[in-house]
Chain A
Amino acid sequence: GAGVSQSPRYKVAKRGQDVALRCDPISGHVSLFWYQQALGQGPEFLTYFQNEAQLDKSGLPSDRFFAERPEGSVSTLKIQRTQQEDSAVYLCASSFEGAGNQPQHFGDGTRLSIL
């Protein structure tokens, strides 16, 4: 029984480089969410997909952040021209559907460090 899988588990990049973080949701889950968690803080919402449609990207901090889910399954979060303040854990979650009574199930995240 596979849960939400994220890769890589750790990523170190130099300031200015582009990075891509991958999320494999639970099979059959329609909804997919990305969160950012700074050290010592709770996760903060970034963006939401329903199948391949990105329905909410209100939490993306800048236009350097871009997410896609082209076939409604695997999703990629891309950060261009990384900056030190992008250092955080990036969490992906999926749920069977988007209704409020469907719990979101999280992966263990990608820890991104920008040098």
Chain B
Amino acid sequence: DAKTTQPTSMDCAEGRAANLPCNHSTISGNEYVYWYRQIHSQGPQYIIHGLKNNETNEMASLIITEDRKSSTLILPHATLRDTAVYYCIVRVRSGGGADGLTFGKGTHLIIQP
């Protein structure tokens, strides 16, 4: 799986949009971009994933650049409960088996009141 690069930490004011960047310059055409977050003492929580089109769900939006070398996770109206470590992961699209996810160190997002 391709390697990802994320900032170590970010701050965001409560109520504002939180934009979390991720670089994945070596991504292959058959790799998805996944985002998970982990709140203290809990397991990772799936947020969203995409291949090449932008995606939106009830939690967030995922913007993938046209060359697919980077992406941005957008939390439109951040709340204090969004404080967590956010992981950007690239994952092979298909295969006979399955791949374990390769987590990096992620971005520690702190929402400020």
Instruction: Please report A residues at the B interface, Cβ cutoff 8 Å.
Output: 4, 31, 33, 35, 41-46, 48, 50, 55-56, 59, 91, 93, 95, 97-101, 103-109
Q: Which residues of the other chain, A, contact B77 by a CB distance below 8 angstroms?
A: none
Q: Main secondary structure on chain B at its contact with chain A?
A: loop
| Residues 3 to 48 of chain B near chain A (Cβ within 8 Å) | 30-32, 34, 41-46
Q: Interface residues of B toward A: which range?
A: 20 to 34
Q: Which residues of chain B are near A33, meaning CB under 8 Å?
A: 98, 100-101
9 sample A-B contacts, Cβ–Cβ < 8 Å, listed by A number: A43-B103, A56-B97, A93-B43, A99-B94, A101-B94, A104-B46, A106-B45, A107-B43, A109-B43
Which residues of the other chain, B, contact A42 by a CB distance below 8 angstroms? 85, 87, 103-106
Q: Are A41 and B46 in contact (CB under 8 A)?
A: no
Nearest A residue to B97 via CB reads: A55
**Could you tell me the distance between the alpha carbons of A89 and B82 in the complex, rounded to whole angstroms?**
22
A100 and B94 contacting across the interface, CB-CB below 8 Å: yes
Identify 19 new A-B residue pairs, CB closer than 8 A, beyond the known A44-B103, A99-B98: A4-B43, A33-B100, A33-B101, A42-B85, A42-B103, A48-B97, A48-B98, A50-B97, A50-B98, A59-B100, A99-B93, A100-B99, A101-B93, A103-B34, A103-B49, A105-B46, A106-B43, A106-B46, A108-B42
